[in-house]
Amino acid sequence: MLWFGVAIVAVTSVAGAWLLAGGESGGDEGPARAEAVSIDRAPGPQLEIGEQVPAFSAPGLDGGTVSWRDVGDGPAVLVVWASWCPHCQAELPVLVPATQAREGIALLSVTTAVGQEPGPAPADFLEAEGLNLATAVDDEAGSLMRGLGVSSFPTVYYVGGDGAVRAVTIGESAEGAIESGLDAIQRG
């Protein structure tokens, strides 16, 4: 009888932990472990125009590691988003193809605040929208989000080939604002 009680407690504990974790298996959909995420900037204010994007790395949504160094030496767009955010859900399907249509502009994203609100998992959202882009998964502490100074979603940094921020948009942007940001970094 004692073993039966121990087995019931163990099963109940595992099931409770699974439910508290959002019912997910902890694979690519959940936030990354804190030790797997690094950024060379302390939490602080939003990156300003002219400021360098700090080096960072984190687990990739599709596996492996995604790093700011992956963008190379050309202009780039860095978008920080949450899959449950309605403004992100509206902007990413416009921003991603607009950026990918511009030759020579790299695109990298950071998904953060994973599972903090009801909504699709990051991979499910990207797949449903047919979007394919390198995506770093932030940890539960929001280390990348805080290190990049993000306080609202989406935050988009338009970065010149020298690694300096040339333009920033916060919240859902009109297509014209996206095109202006892309123009600013494509010109040099």
pLDDT at 187: 81
Mean pLDDT (whole number) for 25-31: 47
Mean pLDDT (whole number) for 32-44: 84
pLDDT exceeds cutoff 60 at 4: no
Residues 6+ apart with CB under 8 A from 138: 31, 32, 37, 58, 110, 111, 112, 113, 114, 144, 145
What letter does residue 71 receive in the DSSP assignment? G
Q: Which of 26, 178, 34 is nearest to 93 (CA)?
A: 178
Confidence class for position 24, pLDDT limits 50, 70, 90: very low
H-type alpha helices, 50-142? 86-100, 122-129
Residues 6+ apart with CB under 8 A from 19: none
CB atoms near residue 68 (< 10 Å): 23
Q: What pLDDT, in 10s, does the model give residues 86-132?
A: 999 999 999 999 999 999 999 999 999 998 999 999 999 999 999 99
121 vs 105: CA distance, rounded Å: 27
Q: What pLDDT, in 10s, does the model give residues 42-61?
A: 999 999 999 999 999 999 99
pLDDT exceeds cutoff 70 at 2: no
Q: Which residue has better confidence, 71 or 6?
A: 71
This prediction has a pTM of 0.82
Question: Within its chain, how far is the Cα of 171 from the centroid?
Answer: 14
CA angle (108 as vertex; 104, 110 as ends), nearest 5: 170
Q: What pLDDT, in 10s, does the model give residues 146-162?
A: 999 999 999 999 999 99
Confidence class for position 164, pLDDT limits 50, 70, 90: very high
pLDDT at 154: 98
Which amino acid belongs to residue 9?
V
145 vs 128: CA distance, rounded Å: 24
CATH architecture of the domain formed by 31-186: 3-Layer(aba) Sandwich (3.40)
pLDDT exceeds cutoff 90 at 27: no
- Enumerate the domain spans of the chain: 1-30, 31-186
CB atoms near residue 157 (< 10 Å): 26
